Amino acid sequence: MTGAATDRDELARQLAMSHSQLRRYAADMKQVVEAERARSRELAAANLRLARLDQLKSDFLAFISHELRTPLNHMAAVDLLDPEASPEDQAETVEIIRAGYARLNALISRGLDYLYWVSREPGSVAGSVHWPGAVEKAAGRVGISIEFDRPADSPLVQGDEEPWIRVFAELLGNARAHGPSHGVIRVTNAADRDWTRVEVSDAGGFPSELAEEIFRPFTLADMRHHSQGSGLGLALARSIAGACGGSLRARSSGPGTGAQFIVELKHVRGTIDE
């Protein structure tokens, strides 16, 4: 009996030792798995940064090739300056050159502005603001009247006021440019615990298949208005919204059916401020 008890004790000791070794092995494996997951996240973030840089390069090349052609053609009118021409003809040529320079300067400034915002990390603007004031100031900046379903209580959302004013100003300006004349522009909203969704609606519209494409730089659903803008407005608005921790999307069933631009703003807190 003594020998059997000794064997049982030895077996128990070995089992306890094996169990301890298995626990250490499991702990080591857990560390290895967590380290691999961390490296995978780092690689995914690095790949995302590389993709963003590649997109920036493509957007910049598109900007150079697509948008600078017209103002440079205007400025090329300098070759038409003729000392023997009448003062009226000289003044007309100079005005063409000045217009080309002004457009070139505006396009470069707007292009650099877009490249700045599109290079910002999502959610990198960490301030907070009550969004209804941004909508109202945007309408004043654009100089239009809107039907605004202003909430009695408003959530505090992520971002600074000026960037959100710019987002809404771009959307309201786009609605004015691409909607029918004298069309009503409405701003409605809904909120849950974490998000407020603000919808800017007009009576214009675009082909439904362009709902994502119109946010690409230099894409214009209505080419009649090309000369009035840089083709960067919606792309810039989406980039700013993303930097503020939000998002921007659009929907429409086609020209003349109306268009809706939905801005999602992230609440700084999960409750509505009284």
Q: What is the radius of gyration, based on Cα positions, of the chain?
A: 29
Does the pLDDT at position 164 exceed 90? yes
| 174 CA to centre of own chain | 15
**pTM of the full predicted structure?**
0.66
Highest mean pLDDT among 67-76, 96-105, 154-163 belongs to 154-163
Pair 216, 235: CB distance under 8 Å: yes
Q: What is the pLDDT of residue 249?
A: 96
Written as six digits, the tokens of 122 are 């999502």
Written as six digits, the tokens of 130 are 């009550």
| Averaged pLDDT score across all residues of the chain | 81
Helices (H), the chain: 2-67, 69-75, 87-118, 131-142, 161-178, 233-243
Find, among 156, 175, 152, the residue nearest to 261 by Cα. 175
Side-chain half-sphere exposure of 136, counting CA atoms within 13 A:
7
Residue in the block written with tokens 């059997």: 4
What lies within 8 Å, CB to CB, of 36 at 6+ separation is none
Does the pLDDT at position 225 exceed 50? no
Nearest-5° angle of CA 85, CA 91, CA 96?
Answer: 110
Quickly list DSSP for 54-115: HHHHHHHHHHHHHHSHHHHHHHGGGGG--TTS-HHHHHHHHHHHHHHHHHHHHHHHHHHHHH
What are the structural domains of the chain?
Answer: 128-266 (3.30.565.10)
State whether the Cα torsion 49-50-55-56 is positive or negative.
positive
43-70 pLDDT tens trace: 777 677 667 666 666 666 666 666 666 6
